[in-house]
Structure 1
């Protein structure tokens, strides 16, 4: 049957950026990582976290995720790197493609756990914040398989079939990379909607992402024709999808029972900032405190006017006025005595001066009489 339309594959897996060639596979991963960090950062702030925290966590999570993804791929597809005619060094050439999403999730979660412990943050709320971003990153990253012409499905003549000419297979095949890319896009949108609708917390948004992804991955594995280990007629990734799906669903149910709702405080406040929450609870506490102070002042004012035990009304300020009146007579004599003392003190120098003047006058008269004699 003649193929009327098909998705062409790129002629090369490299993109020329000036003098530096960039692998299309690596470019897809880089774009996906930056998208996940950007979206995760926005969601983290919306949940009460601090700006820049997700980027700091990614410094640990991304390298661990890449290492875990590569290890998972090498272990599950070891026949590609070990054995007769194989070069074990190729196991380190991650730029040639070959990573496993389950290893990426496990390794990335371990790296994020280390970073969260260093910052005093719980891992579940962080996982909820970045869950849809991871799904969107996968949607972009899967196009790296298109650049490398790998991980395609069975032969088909559908209009959206992908053309493959990699020296091993030639023809049109199911574009499993496209199927998974669209599926991951839908998973990310599903998580965002469910998170807003049901206020998922305590890791349930991440568990929903994992459960939804495994459903699509289980179906896509049936279409792939690349070599893979099988057990009881199922590919290894099919079994992994089943186990992970059951674990994610169990976590969703148990977590909803033990920790309903969403976390209130996802990240400690930096030193020097007040502890008021983003929803204004700190302002409400201040208003309540001010209201309490005003109420206390109002309660204190009428207390002096309350009836006394003997039935008489105590007028405000009466006791203070009585005390002043009693103290006034005793204060007046003191003032008079002070005035008398001041007058006596002022008179003493004057009397002394007058006595000295009189004595000098007498001496002058005596001297004059002596001279006359």
Structure 2
């Protein structure tokens, strides 16, 4: 199957080009903002509309700065040394989830200090929306024709235009969009819809993302300038994801053993002598 001919530029107007890759991130941020606002209106919520907007802003800055810097450090440091301006060419692709995650965690720490909320209260509230951005970002990778998969003869395998070998490959970007994006979002949304111990939702995200990423990496071609790290099958993405699973499991154990339920609904007060319905 030939890769569909998709123009990476979504809109070109008066010399200004808006790329699909950037629009995918915008879709992810807007989706997170809408869903956070929806949750902030639920009974027992301690979040205001302004706090939600500030949270999404802090998270967006953390994703962009952390993702780009992480990609440079983990995957393309030599390219950065040769062309330092490549750091700001976001439309060309090249974002690291693990760098973005570190950036978001730092940004949410700053937000927690600013808002006076507990750190894991903030992260537990925001992390279920992260897979939306991951799903959109992987679609952006697919549109850019980058980060393709390993050679395959499955009926939906594609020949990507940038592939020097011009062989059929797994569209692993779409696999990741479904696993790390859609599936993980559904799991986290349902899990966090009921009161959970503080930190448990964050821990489940670590377990879920790390597991999905490790699985997806078996279908994704390693970066050409890095290759396999060990055993001719272990990739950088898997090495960076394994600690997430371990830390996520440890966080969930810690949360259920030591933390009270968080985000419990607030019951409406009843008048003295009246029966609660």
Aligning the two structures, in what range does the TM-score lie when normalised by the shorter sequence? 0.7 to 0.9
Q: Which residue in the other structure is 1:16 paired with?
A: 11
Deviations 1:137-163 (A, max 9, x none): 211111111121111111223222233
- Are the equivalent residues in 2 in contact too, given 1:215–1:241 (CA < 8 A)? yes
Whole-angstrom CA distance in 1 between matches of 2:20 and 2:78: 22
- Structure 1 residues 113-124: aligned runs within 5 Å: 113-124=109-120
Query: 1:132–1:141: structure 2 CA closer, same or farther, 3 Å change rule?
Result: same
Higher relative helix content: 1
Q: Greater shift after overlay, 220-229 or 117-126?
A: 220-229
- Structure 1 residues 1-373: aligned runs within 5 Å: 6=1, 8-19=3-14, 20-46=16-42, 47-48=44-45, 49-78=47-76, 81-82=79-80, 86-166=82-162, 168-183=164-179, 184-196=181-193, 199-225=195-221, 226-227=223-224, 228=226, 230-233=228-231, 234-264=234-264, 278-280=266-268, 283-284=269-270, 287-288=271-272
Name the SS of the counterpart of 1:15 in structure 2.
strand
**Higher RCO (C-alpha 8 Å, min separation 6):** 2
Name the SS of the counterpart of 2:167 in structure 1.
strand
- Are the equivalent residues in 2 in contact too, given 1:15–1:24 (CA < 8 A)? yes
Pair member with larger Rg: 1
Q: Greater shift after overlay, 231-240 or 54-63?
A: 231-240
- Deviation, 1:112, is 1.6
Deviations 1:269-327 (A, max 9, x none): xxxxxxxx9531xx33xx23xx5xxxxxxxxxxxxxxxxxxxxxxxxxxxxxxxxxxxx
Name the SS of the counterpart of 1:165 in structure 2.
coil
- Are the equivalent residues in 2 in contact too, given 1:44–1:126 (CA < 8 A)? no
TM-score (norm: length of structure 1): 0.66
Deviations 1:68-92 (A, max 9, x none): 1111111111355156xx4232233
Coordinate RMSD, CA, aligned:
2.3
Query: 1:82–1:192: structure 2 CA closer, same or farther, 3 Å change rule?
Result: closer
Query: 1:57–1:258: structure 2 CA closer, same or farther, 3 Å change rule?
Result: same
Deviations 1:229-288 (A, max 9, x none): 654432222111111110011000111110132245xxxxxxxxxxxx9531xx33xx23
TM-score (norm: length of structure 2): 0.87
Whole-angstrom CA distance in 2 between matches of 1:101 and 1:248: 16
- Are the equivalent residues in 2 in contact too, given 1:24–1:144 (CA < 8 A)? yes
Name the SS of the counterpart of 2:262 in structure 1.
coil
Name the SS of the counterpart of 1:193 in structure 2.
helix
- Structure 1: which 4+ aligned runs deviate by more than 4 Å? none
